Amino acid sequence: MEEKKTGMPLLGEDFPELSVQTTHGPMNIPGDLKGSWFVLFSHPADYTPVCTTEFVAFQKRMEEFDRLNCKLIGLSVDQVFSHIKWVEWIKEKLDVEITYPIIAGNDTVAGKLGMMHPAKGSNTVRAVFVGDPEGKVRLILYYPQEVGRNMDEILRAVHALQVSDANKVAMPAGWPNNELIKDRVIVPPATDEKTAKERLEQFDNYDWWFCHKKLE
């Protein structure tokens, strides 16, 4: 009998199939998101200050995520009625309407995604999963409960993944504001001597293994 896999998914693997209840009704993930990029992010608990700042920050960037054809989905192990009341509180007190769904998770859901870290308590950690339109896991981030996330970095990472896929290139640190090559992208290194020599003529470079170019 095949052993059932548990724990967090790995980069490049299929995102685990989840049938969940959300503030927008039942969802099947990643099936309902096919054709779109998505960011699924967990938070430790509703009605907590760091999580509240994160939810507002994600909402403030909804238009930017939309331009990248990227859906947002929140998650914690709170029940759905708690999510609904918290969203109402954010609207009433902070004048921000949360328009993305929030999953009412459980230990099974959190376990499939590796979100329960016993040494950090009984709540879910601050996990971020970026999935592509085929439902593959492309990026994973984990933050402790005491440190809020940088949503601009998550936006940048989604954009960088899309540019990398479309152009078959690699992205430098901090792209598009890299200290060495600015907004240029990195040409994949040559894997044979002939191509290595050709690269020196074809592209700007520091060496044959470090070639870069402007996006076309």
CATH of the domain at 135: 3.40.30.10
Residue 5 lies in a domain: no
Residue 216 lies in a domain: yes
Residue 62 lies in a domain: yes
**Which positions are annotated as active-site residues?**
51
Give me the tens of pLDDT residue by residue for the chain, a chain 216 residues long: 333 444 678 899 999 888 899 999 999 999 999 999 999 998 888 899 999 999 999 999 999 999 999 999 999 877 899 999 999 999 999 999 999 999 987 666 766 776 555 444 455 678 899 999 999 999 999 888 888 899 999 999 999 999 999 999 999 999 999 999 999 999 998 999 999 999 999 999 999 999 999 998
Residue 157's pLDDT is 97
Q: How far apart are CA 127 and CA 146, in angstroms?
A: 13
Structural domain containing residue 212: 168-216
- Is this structure's pTM higher than 0.75? yes
Number of domains in the chain: 2
137 in Cβ contact with 152 (< 8 Å): no
| Cα atoms in the Cβ-side hemisphere of radius 13 Å centred on 94 | 18
Residue 44 lies in a domain: yes
Contacts of 199 (CB under 8 A, 6+ apart): 187, 190, 205, 208, 211
